[in-house]
Amino acid sequence: MFRKVLLCYDGSSEGRRALRAGADVVICMKSDAHLLAICRNLVSSSIPEGVTPQLVECEDTRSKALLDEGVQWLRERGVNAQGSLEYGHPVDCIAATADRVGADLIVLGHRQRGPLARWWSASDEESLLERVTCSILVASSDE
């Protein structure tokens, strides 16, 4: 049985699909939910001259709004939900948050990429599967 479910949400169609699938699991299992929104921090990848207080505030405001939207959506369905906004690389943030909240299950969305995209994004980094000890549910598109 899953007691604490970590839902990863970014507002994309894949993120919304994961939110719906995760909510179904949480409701069926009578679990608690923790919604995680990750801000990849556009500021850190911007040129120094392009970083303005307005850019930082806009990024924070958008990310917080997405998080609040997701938590509210869950609560409207009777889910006991909390949320947090993290900054950084998604794998690092998801693994750290899963550990911090004691997640039994992580739910996240997935978008299929073509062979060229996979080739360009090849990485020697550790995958999420290697970083966590709990179960992972991947909500993939029907396409």
Q: Under a CB-based contact definition with an 8 Å cutoff, are residues 105 and 23 in contact?
A: no
Q: For 62-78, what is each residue's pLDDT tens digit?
A: 888 889 988 999 999 99
pTM, 2 dp:
0.80
Q: pLDDT under 70 in the chain at which residues?
A: 40-59, 112-125, 141-143
What confidence score (pLDDT) does residue 56 get?
52
Domains of the chain: 4-140 (3.40.50.620)
In which residue are the tokens 């850019």 written?
55
Q: Under a CB-based contact definition with an 8 Å cutoff, are residues 18 and 107 in contact?
A: yes
Q: What residues have CB less than 8 Å from 114, skipping those under 6 apart?
A: none
Cα-based distances in Å from 35 to 26, 64, 112, 134: 12, 12, 23, 16
